[in-house]
Structure formats: structure tokens, C-alpha cells
Amino acid sequence: MYKISLITGDGIGPELSESAVSVLNAIHDKLDLKFDVAKLSAGDKALAETGKALPDDTVDAIKNSDVCLKAPVGESAADVIVVLRRMLDLYANIRPSKSYPHMPALRDDIDMVIVRENTEDLYIGKEFSLGDSAVALRIISEAASKRIAKYAFESATQRNNMKKVTCVHKSNVMRVTDGLFAKACTEVSLNYPDIAFEEMYVDACAMNLIRQPQKFDVVVTTNLFGDILSDESSQVVGGLGMAPAANIGDDFALFEPVHGAAFDIAGKNIANPSSFLLSIKMMHDWLGNKHNDSKCVDVGKKLESTIFDLVKSGIKTKDIGGDKSTAEFTKHITDNL
């Protein structure tokens, strides 16, 4: 039995968490894999109620669990997820984008993953005022750049695709910081002669994600660029409602959707739970590999295929062209697992 800490979040977070718990219960009943889920509070609501966006007992419960699931939080995201990523050294943010049948995708042959450095860059949150200016520190270290580059190349060796790593940066303008990142990636690439390596400026990458997204395999980039590009790559294959993410460290991992709290659709029972459920699929892969538990990996595959068989048969939520509510779509999944 694995212990899951579940941050239920803000906006559509509680709806997605309800869907996730139903699916985890169905996995227990039908596929005999048990999880012990502890619901935790963090985010805007926690801030209003306790004065802290990330309460201490939530942090303690996360540290005492095998893995963390996080539904989106709202305006306090920087005080929750950005803090957790750095606190737990979850240095690799993995954001896959794949075209599946019957999705409003740009093409049907996209299969790429963004490997985003998760602990540095402008997201260290060191901002201050200086005279009439506002200043933000951008930290890029050689150690963190090489660590994420290595993760990207190792990912490429394990994928069935074209086995290519694209290092995305803007070293023509940010010569010192992105210059260091590009150099670190280039040096790491020398250890992987069987993996193709290319560099691309971030503006060109943003354009190529629309023009020829099928040409990407693994994209490795810095924190802010990865945040922006992964929203774009999600939309290219159908939208944020289908976009999962993993925050991986050496000993711990946290899984969450790419998207935020979507206050515009909160409480309407129309959010697509697939992004969170596909993040749970990634959780199964990580737990299964860590604990040498092939059953856990197989259950994750079953969850993914159940979601895509439903989508293929036209059972989908509104954001991807269907008419099912969050609860109806979840019920279809639990019935069909």
C-alpha cells in the first residue's frame, strides 16, 4: 500500500481531487492496488483560513508520504508549488504532449516531452525594488543545468521516438545565464553520441511548436521558458485539460496537472479531470519503477488506455469537444477500468 498526500487545491482543484479519489478507489476495488490517501490543504483557501498558503502540518504529511498529488492552487501558487519544488529538490518537471485520436490537436503525430529545470531561474523568487526600478535575480548554475540535461538525455534513451534532445535557451541575449545553460547541455550531450542534439532559441521554439511540433522529441529548458512552452505544447495537442506533469527528485515526486485553478469554470462540474488523472498515471510509473512494482506500472497503463478509449469513442468533456460533466466522465472511467 502506498501513502499518497493529496493537496486538494483551489478553484477546480476540489472537483479534480474528488474525481481522483473516485478513480483511486475504483483502482483498489477493481484492480486490487491500494492507496492510503490523506487530503491536505494548501493554497488560497489555506492562506485565508490559517495565514499560511503552505501550512506546516501539510509539509509534514507530504514528507511522511510515499508520493504527493497536487490539484491546482490559485494566486498563492508561488508560495505552494514553487516552494515545494525547491524544498523537496524536485528538480525535473516533466511535461509530455502527445496527439491522441479525436482530439482538437494540430496534428496526429506529435509525441514530445518538455523537461524543465525546476529549481532555479527567475522562479527562485528573489525580487526587490531599487530606486525607481524593480529587479529580479536570475540564477542558473552549472550543477543544476548539467543535472537537468542528464535527465533529458536519459529520458531520450528510454523513448521510442527519434531520440533527439533540443536545448531551448536565449543565449544570444542572456549571454551569461543562458550561455552557461547551453554550454552545460552541450557538454552533457557529448556523453550521449546516439542521441541527436540541437539548440534552439526560445522564440524560434515557440514558433516551431506551431509550425512543426512533430519534429520535437525531448525539449530541455530553463524554468520560466519551460513553464510557458509547456502551456503551448499542451494546446498543440488539444488543451490544458489533457496535460499532466511530474515534478521528480532523486527520492520523492509530486504529480499535478500543468494547468492552474481555472477559476472561470470552478464549481460548474465541467472541468476535464484527465490532466490530473494522467498525472496519476505518471505517478504509477514512478512508484512502480522506484519499488520494482510492475503491477503498479500496469495499472497506470490501464488508467491511461481507459481515458483514451473513452475519448476515442466520443465520451469527453466540453473543453475537447464533448458534452460530459466532470462527474459523468469520471463515472465512465471508474465503470470501464
Q: Indicate whether 241 belongs to the interface with ligand NAI (CB under 6 A).
A: yes
Q: Indicate whether 238 belongs to the interface with ligand NAI (CB under 6 A).
A: no
The CA distance from 324 to 144, in Å, is: 43
The CA distance from 288 to 292, in Å, is: 5
Q: Indicate whether 144 belongs to the interface with ligand NAI (CB under 6 A).
A: no
What are the grid coordinates assigned to 300, written together?
497506470
Total number of residues binding ligand NAI (CB under 6 A)?
20
Please name which of 67, 161, 170 lies closest in space to residue 110, comparing C-alpha atoms.
161
Q: Active-site residue 203, yes or no?
A: yes
Q: Indicate whether 33 belongs to the interface with ligand NAI (CB under 6 A).
A: no
What are the grid coordinates assigned to 325, written together?
460533466
> Residue number with the shortest CB distance to ligand NAI?
260
What HEC string does 159-175 produce? Answer: CCCCCEEEEEECCCCCC
What is the three-class DSSP state of 133? strand
What is the three-class DSSP state of 201? strand
Q: Indicate whether 272 belongs to the interface with ligand NAI (CB under 6 A).
A: yes
When the beta carbons of 141 and 334 are compared against ligand NAI, the nearer one is 334
Report the DSSP pairing between strands 164-169 and 218-221.
parallel
- Least separation in angstroms between CB 20 and ligand NAI: 12
The CA distance from 9 to 115, in Å, is: 24
Q: Active-site residue 123, yes or no?
A: yes
Q: Indicate whether 116 belongs to the interface with ligand NAI (CB under 6 A).
A: no
Q: 45, 70, 170, 316: which one is catalytic?
A: 170
Site track 248-267 with ligand NAI (rule: CB under 6 A), x = hit: --------x--xxxxxxx--
Write out the residues near ligand NAI by the rule CB under 6 A: 72-75, 77, 81, 240-241, 256, 259-265, 271-272, 275, 319
Tell me the catalytic residues. Answer: 123, 170, 203, 227, 231
